[in-house]
Amino acid sequence: MTVSEYNNCVDLYSDGLYRFLLKNVKDTEKARDLVQETYTKLWSKVDEVSFEKAKSYIFTAGYHTMIDQLRRERRFQDFTTEESKRSTIDFSRQYSDLSDILNEALDRLPTSQRSVLLLRDYEGYGYGEIEKITGLSEAQVKVYIYRARLAIKEYVVKMENVV
């Protein structure tokens, strides 16, 4: 890959990668750092990755970089306080926008399910492409997407989440 092709990759794919990572990590600075780290990895492999395969490489590297970051952070988190925050229902909140409810439902999904769902529904990847990006089998990708959609549906249908 030439320098101009690398710069073209940055122009073409950085926004999509940023959106994908931001939806997963929920922190703009972390998402920006992950995008930067992903493009650093691409630059180190610039001789090995062709321009035609760059999009797949970028999203694969971004996904794995994000997973590594989340694993490092989990070592230092207290899971009990996080789970107690999630399980507490605040009836004083009033939702006027369905996107708030959907984003909260996405937040409750396990990382693997959220990632494949975002790759499929937000970024428009096919099952085979998601399989290559995540390293999961195509059957497992389909199962994760099904379970994620089912969990979101069950969350949205609950009356206390809508009221």
Class of domain 1-79: mainly alpha
Which tokens belong to 50?
């062709």
Every domain of the chain and the residues it spans: 1-79, 90-163
| pLDDT tens, residue by residue, 87-145 | 444 444 444 567 777 888 888 888 888 888 888 888 888 898 888 888 889 899 999 99
Pick the CATH number of 90-163 from 1.10.287.540, 1.10.600.10, 1.10.10.10, 1.10.3210.10: 1.10.10.10
Q: How many CA atoms lie within 13 A of 150 on its CB side?
A: 6
Model pTM score: 0.57
| pLDDT tens, residue by residue, 6-61 | 888 888 888 989 988 888 888 889 999 999 999 999 999 888 888 888 888 898 88
Give the whole-angstrom CA distance, residue 10 versus residue 13: 6
Does the fold of domain 90-163 match that of domain 1-79?
A: no
Does residue 97 contact residue 131 with C-beta atoms inside 8 Å?
A: no
Residues 6+ apart with CB under 8 A from 91: 160, 163
Give the whole-angstrom CA distance, residue 140 versus residue 107: 20
Does residue 63 contact residue 115 with C-beta atoms inside 8 Å?
A: yes
Of 51, 50, 47, 66, which Cα lies nearest the Cα of 9?
A: 51
